[in-house]
Amino acid sequence: MTPPLTLRVLAFFDARFQLSGPLWQALGGGDPWQSALAAYPARRHHSPLLQPGKALGRYDLADAASAGRVVAVARAAGIGGFVLDCHRHEGRYLTGADCLDPWCDTDFGLAFRWTPAPVEDAAVDAVALMEAIAGYSPVMADGRPLLLVNEPYKLPDPAGTVALLRQAAADADLGPIYLVATAAEARGGLLDAGFDALLDPSPAQWRSCKPAELLNGYTFLQAEAGQADAGMFDDTIMSYAQFVNSRMVDRPTRGKVFPRVVLDYADWPDHPQGGATLLASTSSVLYRRFLAGAMVHVAHHFPEGERLVFIDSWNHWRQRSQIEPTTQFGATVLDETANGIRQGGYVALTRVGEPAPGQSPAVDYGIIAALCRQIEDELSASA
Amino acid sequence: MLSSLAMTADGVESFDFRFSTGALTPNDILDSATSPPGRYVWEVARRTLAACPTADAVVVSNPILPIRGSRLAKLVLGGGGTGGPLPCPAVVTDEGTFPIAYVLPRRLFEEGLGRFLCLLSVSRSAADAQLLSHLTGGGFVPRRTSALRAVGSLPDNTPQGYVLGDNMEAWLVQCVNAVTLMRSRGDWRGLPFAAHHPGHAGDVLFFSLASRLVPADQLAFDAQVVCRAYLDIFQDCGNRLEPIVLDIPPAPRNTDVGDGRYFIDSLAHLPPGVAEGTFIVFCRYSKAYAKSPFNLIDHARFSLGDPVATVGDTLYQRGPLLNQPRHRAGPALSRGAALRVLMQLTGGWDLKTYPAKDRRVLIRALVDLGCEVTVIDLPDAAADGATVATAGSTRALKALLAEHHVFISVDSFPLHFASQILGHPTVAIFGCTAPGNSDAPRRPGYRLPAPALPCGPCGCLDYCPLLMIRECTNQPRPAQLVAAVMEVAQEAYGADSVLAVPLAQGDAA
């Protein structure tokens, strides 16, 4: 990162690509690459999954050299850490962090994502979670280790869960932790519940309307009768350009929400009967600008020490969102990632010292906004 | 991707450079759209020789080709093609005649002739060999064939950002003209260099500012070809170069006549005697400038000879620009007096124009808040309570600015003139273009509600490629601009100035 900006780009990471060790055993053994990539398009609009390129190949994270190579490639691209999923297994959590941690330091750390699930004793579960994530080189936000809570809307008592997590973290000698919930905007009480910040949901978690609502009666009957590809109606297909624009439009009004930058997304392998979410007409150039724009936004609107951008993902091959080198496109996307990080870093640097918009005490922004709205209404009415 | 080989008595060392996307390390070179490829041959050679002081010669790859250092070494030193020791100077070609690299002796640079490399054609080895022949004492410069299969037809736009097509012809013409001049003039080493960058208004301003920022010992140019229509800008912006006035209209803003074609055609219209005594370098856009995050002033500085080698050297990291005041206020603003706001809401092409409905809201809101609004070149604005004015010259624009407290402008010459030359309190509107290419360094009295959408810069001139409408939706909302006007007024004229605007008494209150 270009000094003096303190801004870190993190990537979601699937640590299951290992051929031995506790996580591999807990997941039933076998070849994780085969599990991830053995899916074939059933619809004509499903793009096939890509294959790992020569640069990293089908690595085994349990092999220290392979894990080191992955971290080195990520570092070289400007990534500042990975976000690992916490997998629940027989009352404890496994993350696979032990494979990566030897290669981490203060410039490249590990953060964790936890997806809540119904458990008998939430306090015991929180203790197990903290045991699993303690002891690794952490990504820090505001000087605290970072924990992401996925699907927080499933929590029956968000404030209670936050309190439990904080207590368990303190008991595990993690100290105070920085809690981030996956949610689109700072409305809905998650910040009030004690979360420190929010994170854009994934494309599948954040859609403007359900696919079923796109159907009219005739198209539904057509699909059911086999006269049309039912997948076209069951799946949600979004234009990438419009998707990235929608993620960045009026961002400051959504509050303290970290951007999640997505290169591609297609979860059809996990929705064989329809209901997949797909991004269409993806573009590495737009992706680079999306990444750079997200960095500039964070640099401008977030306090120092809390400037994070998330890339989804480093190696979620099954969702086609990976930025790792591929057989088909080589290192193009990884290069664009590096370019985007450099570009975002430079542009953010050019705006250092720029006052945050809407902060001048001498200006009444509410009155200005109301006046403009009133004039817009008048013009609309007269048109 | 740029590469080179340092040739020493002990062996060869290869170097890889890249067109910078933001970082400026010793291996990142500022991505300048206004520099011909030959400028990169010069810069790569300079850096390579500096990094390897024992090198007697340097081999530099053709900048328009993506050649890695390792590949360059294989092509230049490996088997195949013409055998034998590597001659110096020489032009290395593919299996045909396309130049893929240049072998350059160190003494060429020690004699201060590096800038002549800006004149390379990068497409005709015969022309380039003749240029190098003159630069190295007039001896025969061989073309050394490599094992690379024929380069073949090149794309119009390369992944490195080069726009080829007409530009290839322009680079060839500048090279052939230079060789002709060297043949006819024994005193060619002392002849002036002119940057051919005749328009448009904003571009002339950027080049003028750049000419003032390049240190004297790095300034490789003595003159600039400029259209008469923009001569006032050239002069009022304090350009350090001598003007060579072109008495033909500027190129159209659409793509009907490419920059390369215009360059070639315009050479016939240069003032008498200029072509016979000046090396003219094509400095219009060789690359797509929006791919580079750097300010066009930095692009121009690089073109003119400044390496802009570190982030600290770039425009935004420098101190106050050109000793201009941190901001120069407009007329005095006493308590209770109306804030006078000047607007330029149309730009060089349609998509820059601030959308019709939004501008009506903007004008009305400011008028309702008690401001006096003047709009340049937009007759419709009178219906919303604005005064309409024209500013056909820098003098007229200056006079208008002197009468107004705050200026709001889209990405156009008036914006750059007010913010970069005069330091006037200004609010900048960017939508379909990248602010980083042409905004001003941050200072009090300057606001830029930056466009947030990744679709920009789209490169389109008259319609949105996403929504297929003739407006850009990446422009700031009227309320953002009104707020920015108030913030700027407060910074430039003090808190009282904002209180003077009867905010609390507006209709909405």
Domain that holds residue B478: 340-505
Each residue's pLDDT tens digit, A147-162: 999 999 889 999 999 9
Q: Backbone dihedral region of A58: left (phi > 0), alpha (psi from -120 to 50 degrees) or beta?
A: beta
In a domain, B97, yes or no: yes
Region for A81 from its dihedrals, namely left if φ exceeds 0, alpha if ψ lies in -120 to 50, beta otherwise: left
For chain A, how many structural domains are there in total? 1
Domain that holds residue A328: 8-382
Whether B65 is in a domain gets the answer yes
In this prediction, residue B456 carries a pLDDT of 87
Same structural domain, B259 and B360:
no
Q: Are residues B301 and B429 in the same domain?
A: no
Q: Are residues B59 and B194 located together in one domain of the fold?
A: yes
User: In terms of domains, do B370 and B457 share one?
Assistant: yes
Q: With 60 as the cut, is the pLDDT of residue B506 above it?
A: no
Could you report the per-residue pLDDT of A17-59, keeping only the tens digit for each? 999 999 999 999 999 999 999 999 888 888 999 999 999 999 9
Q: What pTM was computed for the model?
A: 0.90
Average pLDDT of the segment spanning B292-319: 93
Residue A3: inside a domain: no
CA atoms of B419 and B401, how far apart (whole Å)? 11
Band of the pLDDT at A264, cuts 50, 70, 90? very high
The helix or strand, by DSSP H or E, that contains position B356, with its residue range, turns out to be helix B356-368
Interval B172-200 mean pLDDT: 97
Residues B46 and B149 in one domain: yes
What is Dmax (Cα atoms) for chain B? 87
In a domain, B329, yes or no: no
* pLDDT given at position B80: 59
**pLDDT value of position B323:** 47
The percent helix, strand, coil of chain A (3-state, each to 5) is: 40, 15, 45
CB contact under 8 A, A362 and B21: no
Bigger pLDDT: B285 vs B333: B285
Report whether pLDDT(B257) > 80. Answer: yes
Q: Average pLDDT, stretch B117-128?
A: 97
Of A4-13, A126-135, B367-376, give the lowest mean pLDDT range.
Answer: A4-13
For residue B323, being part of any structural domain is answered with no
What percent of chain B is modeled with pLDDT above 70? 94
Q: Of B317, B332, B351, which residue constitutes the final position of a domain? A: B317
pLDDT given at position B504: 34
Say which residue, B282 or A209, is predicted with more confidence.
B282
| B317, B349, B373 - which closes a domain | B317
Whether B377 and B295 map to the same domain: the answer is no
Same domain as B256, residue B141: yes
- Of the two residues A12 and A184, the one the predictor is more confident about is A12
Residue A300 vs residue B62, higher pLDDT:
B62
Domain check: are B429 and B379 in the same one?
yes
CA distance to partner chain A, nearest, from residue B339 (Å):
14
Do A363 and B477 count as a contact with CB atoms less than 8 A apart? no
Residue B497: band (very low, low, confident or very high) from pLDDT cuts 50, 70, 90? low
Peptide bond preceding A89: is omega within 30 degrees of 0, i.e. cis? no
Minimal Cβ distance to A293: which of B316, B454, B478: B454
Nearest CA in chain A to B486: A363
pLDDT of residue B509: 27
Kindly tell me if the per-residue pLDDT of B326 is higher than 60: no
> Pairing mode, if any, of strands A109-114 and A178-182?
unpaired
Residue A2 lies in a domain: no
pLDDT above 60 for B507: no
Return the residue in B20, B21, B384 with the most chain A beta carbons within 10 A, the one to mutate for interface testing: B21
Residue B230 lies in a domain: yes
Q: Which residue is closest to B290 within chain A, CA to CA? A: A289
Nearest by CB to residue A367, choosing from B22, B436, B503, is B503
How many beta carbons lie within 10 A of that of residue B330, not counting itself? Answer: 24
SS3 at position B122: coil
Scanning B389-428 for CB atoms below 8 A from A yields none
B143 strand-pairing partners: B91
Residue A207 has pLDDT above 70, yes or no: no
Check if the beta carbon of residue B447 is closer than 8 Å to that of residue B415: no
Interchain CB distance below 8 Å, A250 and B452: yes
Q: Is the CB of residue B32 less than 8 Å from the CB of residue B40?
A: no
| B356/B501 same-domain check | yes
Separation CA A205–CA A184 (nearest Å): 10
For range B404-414, the mean pLDDT: 96
Spell out where chain A has E strands: 8-13, 81-85, 87-89, 92-94, 109-114, 140-141, 144-149, 178-182, 197-199, 236-239, 257-258, 260-262, 277-280, 308-312
Starting from the edge strand earliest in sequence, which strands make up the sheet with B99-105, in order?
B28-29, B12-19, B2-7, B57-61, B99-105, B90-93, B143-145
Same domain, residue pair B260 and B386 = no
User: Is A213 a residue whose pLDDT tops 70?
Assistant: no
Say if residue B46's pLDDT is above 60: yes
Domain with residue B378: its CATH number is 3.40.50.2000
Q: Is residue A48 part of a domain?
A: yes
- Give the domain CATH number at A23: 3.20.20.80
Give the model's pLDDT for residue B82: 61
Residue A149 in domain: yes
pLDDT at residue A139 is higher than 80: yes
E-state strands within B88-181: 90-93, 99-105, 143-145
CB contact (8 A) between residue A346 and residue B495: no
B416, with CB counted inside 10 A (0-12, 13-18, 19+), is buried
DSSP string, B298-337: HHHHHHTT----SGGGSGGGSSSGGG--S----S---TTS
- Rounded to whole angstroms, the Cα distance separating B118 from B105 reads 16
Q: Is the pLDDT of residue B325 over 50?
A: no
- Does residue A277 belong to any structural domain of this protein? yes
Could you tell me how far CA B127 lies from the centroid of its own chain?
27
Number of domains in chain B: 2
pLDDT at B37: 98
SS (H, E, C) B193-262: EEEECCCCHHHHHHHHHHHHHCCCCCCCCCEEEEEHHHHHHHHHCCCCCEEEEECCCCCCCCCCCCHHHH
Q: CB–CB of B21 and A2 under 8 A?
A: no
Q: Please check whether residue B255 lies inside any domain of the structure.
A: yes
- Residues B215 and B266 occupy one common structural domain: yes
Interface touch A372/B21, C-beta < 8 Å: no
pLDDT in tens, A67-109: 999 999 999 999 999 999 999 999 999 999 999 999 999 999 9
Q: What is the mean pLDDT of residues B92-99?
A: 95
**Residue B325 domain-assigned (yes or no):** no
Chain A positions touching B360 (Cβ under 8 A) are 375, 379
Evaluate if residue A342 carries a pLDDT over 80.
yes
Question: Would you tell me which residues 291-350 of chain B have a C-beta closer than 8 angstroms to some C-beta of chain A?
Answer: 293-294, 311, 314, 316-317
- What per-residue confidence (pLDDT) applies to B329? 61
Model confidence band, residue B502 (pLDDT cutoffs 50, 70, 90): very low
- pLDDT of B255 reads 74
Nearest-by-CA chain B residue for A371: B508
Clarify whether residues B310 and B392 are in a common domain: no
